[in-house]
Amino acid sequence: MSFAALRNVALVAHVDHGKTTLVDALLRSTGVFSAHQAVVDRVMDSNDQERERGITILAKAAAVQWGDVKINLVDTPGHADFGGEVERSLALVDGVVLLVDAAEGPLPQTRYVLSKALAAGLPAILVINKVDRQDARPDEVLDEVYELFMDLGATDADIEFPIISAIARDSKAVVGVGMPGDGDDLTPLLQCIVDHVPPPSVDPDGPLQAIVTNLDASDYLGRLAIGRVVRGTMRKGERVALLDEEVLEGTRPVDRKLVGLMGFSGIGREDVEERIAGDLFVVAGFPEVEIGDTLADPLNPEALPRLSVDEPVLRMTFGVNTSPLAGKEGKYLTSRHLRERLEREVLGNVSIRLEDTDSPDVLEVAGRGELQLAVLIETMRREGYELQASRPEVIVKDIDGKRHEPLERGVCDVPEEHVGTVTQALAPRKGRVTDLRPGDTGRTVVTFEAPARGLIGFRGLLLTATRGTALLHTHHAGWTPWVGDLPHRQGGAMLADRTGVTTAYALDNLQTRGELFVGSGVTVYEGMVIGENSRPEEMIVNCVREKQKTNIRTHASDDAVKLVPPKVHTLESAIEFIAEDELVEVTPANIRIRKRVLKEQDRRRLKR
């Protein structure tokens, strides 16, 4: 195959606009799945959390054959928290398919991924998806996309993009703005990719140069490097040099014989003898490889420029679980286990940073957003790790001698009756509404800017206030001068004063004084947060007290206890809820909230 018969294209879009569904449809249309094969929906979202949350977290590649052209498709995440994945994906491709919902139009993440694609000089194909929605408004959406291109400083050539209308779920597409008919399939989109995405502009005959943009691991082959051949041809059995940042002047880079070489085929990988310039590869045999490294010709080793990604804006600490219940539910408990796991994560995830703290048992992890860090904790907990995590803090920056903090731009899609709720919730968090756009369907899109610090916990508050009807998306929008103190939760913590098992009798008396987080029959320990007090001060309670057995009977004392169902915290809501002197204890079976210092007299001493 020549590199002229090759197309590399990334699918980029906002969350829920249908990228992964469109990849499914393209795989079906090109015969990757045979007619009798049972296939799960969103086949590219192979990770458990991706399927549960309905989002793409990791960028993945698949390859399809259309006529005599091979098309490598890269599915990218839509959340700004996983922007590091998007930036790496764009290094693999020569063009993007920009997917926009026919009703929602371009949203903040559309702007984010498109700005990255334009900065990389990649041509775009616009796909207006879900044109069969009752509230679809494809003509207005097209105008909004043109406005977005102009806002981002696109050139005349960038704006002359082809337009496809599609119903990805039904594998139908048509050129221009319109509604696909019964006889239509995805041929117009595939043909458009072949016609408008250029073949890789590469030198197939020069000395080898290939960039590593992603890492994977195999139980049999060890660490795998995934990337793209930029120049020359990579052949199995030949020697290849690995160039990293650390290669010093006068020292020889690592060079080895290439024993395992694979390419993408459908949604799987197949062993190949060679990969030509422009194609994607998977290589085994380099355990020390990292993202951004170059694989080159050992006789003429030239390094490619490293990938750069946006810097993290939030940080939190991960520590060894020190609660009285530690070690009862997890497999990996020590600081060595924790450090090894986090170092492994940093190797495969360029947008996460790891730093030491004063304590050897506690590590500081910085990332793009609370969703990204929550996904990391959830992944570790499912693997059998126990840890305790602190409340996220923003990373501050000194600009012109003044303290600055990260600013987030958010877009909230809510029913009209809840617009006031959103604006009222933003005011104390120093948020500023920049745009209000009423829709035809009784929903309004509220665009706002707020400090990242103010938005910790905002998502949960919004979902509660709007009965789960709000959709919120945020992304980094630069830096703003420090805005001062921001409000946190209203009530103080309700704390257990001893270790034991909660009783309905004790909780019945406590539920009138605040909101409980535990039901009866739950093991608690001193210093564990079992609820939120209705007042701002801390309340220390006995939640394990049993009813005294006497031989005196009265009508009132024998009433059945009726407990209100407790509020069960998810990982995200627990991280948002905790104060600075509290931690979230995470084990494979439980999420608990606790004080950093468990004993009451120790806390008093520290306050003094």
What's the pLDDT tens digit per position in 441-484?
Answer: 677 888 899 998 888 878 777 877 888 777 777 777 888 999 88
Q: What is the pLDDT of residue 215?
A: 74
Task: Supply the DSSP symbol for 380.
Answer: H
pLDDT tier, 16 (very low <50, low <70, confident <90, very high otherwise) = low
Q: How far apart are CA 350 and CA 329, in angstroms?
A: 31
Round to whole Å and give the CA distance between 462 and 180: 37
For residue 42, is pLDDT > 70? no
- Is pLDDT above 60 for 525? yes
CA-CA distance, 55 to 42, in Å (whole number)? 10
Is the confidence at residue 11, as pLDDT, over 50? yes
Across 6-10, 38-42, 226-230, 296-300, least confident range: 38-42
Exposed/middle/buried for residue 513 (C-beta within 10 Å: 0-12, 13-18, 19+) = middle
pLDDT at 39 over 70: no
Q: Which residue has the higher pLDDT, 172 or 42?
A: 172
Of the two residues 585 and 278, the one the predictor is more confident about is 585
Classify each residue of 61-92 as buried b or exposed e, where b means 16 or more C-beta atoms within 10 Å of its C-beta.
Answer: bbbbebeebbbbbbbbbbbbbbbbbbbbbbbb
Task: Tell me which of 30-34, 49-53, 437-441, 545-549 is least confident.
Answer: 49-53
- At 245-278, the pLDDT tens digits run 655 455 677 788 888 888 877 767 788 888 888 8
Stronger pLDDT, 601 or 219, i.e. the higher one = 601
Instruction: pLDDT band for 46, please (50, 70, 90 cuts).
Output: very low
Work out the mean pLDDT of the chain and round it to a whole number.
Answer: 81
Q: How do residues 146-155 score in pLDDT, each as one tens digit?
A: 988 888 888 8
Query: Which amino acid is present at 604?
Result: R
The answer to whether 76 and 67 have CB atoms below 8 angstroms apart is no
DSSP at 564: P
Residues found in the chain: 608
Question: Measured between alpha carbons, how far is residue 173 from residues 9, 266, 320 in Å?
Answer: 18, 21, 53
More confident residue, 333 or 268: 333
Query: Taking 50 as the threshold, does the pLDDT of residue 56 lie above it?
Result: no
Measure the N-to-C terminal CA separation of the chain; round to a whole number of Å: 75
State pLDDT tens for residues 85-143: 566 778 788 888 888 888 888 876 677 778 888 888 889 999 998 888 888 888 998 99
| pLDDT at position 60 over 70 | no
3-state secondary structure 28-80: HHCCCCCCCCCCCCCCCCCCHHHHHHCCCCCCEEEEEEECCEEEEEEECCCCH
Q: Does residue 58 carry a pLDDT above 60?
A: no
What's the confidence (pLDDT) of residue 529? 94
Closest CA to 319 of 266, 390, 423: 390
According to the per-residue pLDDT averaged within each range, which of 281-285, 320-324, 416-420 is highest? 320-324
pLDDT at site 59: 47
Bigger pLDDT: 215 vs 95: 95
Q: Mean pLDDT, to the nearest integer, of 385-389?
A: 93
Dihedral sign, CA of 338, 344, 350, 355?
A: positive
Phi, psi of 459, rounded to the nearest 5 degrees: -60, -45
Distance, in Å, from the CA atom of 80 to the CA atom of 275, rounded to the nearest integer, reads: 32
Residue 502's pLDDT band (boundaries 50, 70, 90)?
A: very high
For the cut 60, the answer to whether the pLDDT of residue 486 exceeds it is yes
What separation in angstroms does the CA of 16 have from each of 77, 129, 141, 217, 259? 10, 11, 16, 28, 40
Choice among 39-48, 183-192, 587-596 with the minimum mean pLDDT: 39-48
Residue 312: predicted pLDDT: 82
Instruction: Give the β-pairing of 163-167 and 124-129.
Output: parallel
Q: How wide is the angle at C-alpha 520 spanned by C-alphas 518 and 525, nearest 5°?
A: 60
pLDDT for the residue 348: 63
Residue 369 has pLDDT above 80, yes or no: no
Q: What is the pLDDT of residues 393-434, one digit of tens each?
A: 888 988 888 999 998 888 888 888 888 888 988 888 899 999
Return the pLDDT at 99. Answer: 87
**pLDDT in the model for residue 55:** 47
Tokens 């094969």 belong to residue: 37
What's the average model confidence in pLDDT over 38-56? 44
Rg for the chain, CA atoms, rounded? 27
The confidence score (pLDDT) of residue 559 equals 66
Closest CA to 517 of 538, 497, 537, 502: 502
90, two tokens: 């764009």
Instruction: Give the mean pLDDT of 504-511.
Output: 89
Give the per-residue pLDDT at 323: 92
pLDDT(51) > 50: no
Instruction: For residue 494, give the 3-state DSSP assignment.
Output: strand
The answer to whether the CB of 255 falls within 8 A of the CB of 241 is yes
> Which of 167, 175, 177, 173 is closest to 196 using CA atoms?
175
Q: Are 359 and 319 in contact (CB under 8 A)?
A: yes
pLDDT of residue 34: 46
Share of the chain above pLDDT 90, in %: 17
What structural domains does the chain harbor? 3-196 (3.40.50.300), 209-296 (2.40.30.10), 314-394 (3.30.70.870), 397-481 (3.30.70.240), 493-584+591-607 (2.40.50.250)
pLDDT at site 448: 92
Torsion of CA 98, 101, 104, 106, to 10 degrees: 0
Q: Is 223 in contact with 287 (CB distance < 8 Å)?
A: yes
For residue 355, is pLDDT > 70? yes
DSSP calls for 227-244: EEEEESEEETTSEEEEE-
Report how far residue 486's alpha carbon sits from residue 467's, in angstroms, rounded to the nearest whole number: 25
Helix axes 108-119, 138-151, angle to 10 degrees: 50
Calpha distance 2→403 (Å, rounded): 54
Per-residue pLDDT at 221 exceeds 60: yes
Provide the 8-state DSSP code for 18. Answer: S
CA neighbours closer than 13 Å in the CB half-sphere of residue 115:
17
227 neighbors 213 (Cβ within 8 angstroms) = yes
pLDDT tens by residue, 551-579:
766 666 556 778 889 998 888 888 888 88
Which of 88, 87, 94, 89 is closest to 193 using CA atoms?
Answer: 94
Find tokens 């044109």 and name the residue.
131
Query: For 2-16, 254-268, 279-293, 486-500, which range has the lowest pLDDT when averaged over its residues?
Result: 2-16
Q: Are 362 and 562 in contact (CB under 8 A)?
A: no
Place of tokens 């602190």: 390
Q: Are 218 and 224 in contact (CB under 8 A)?
A: yes
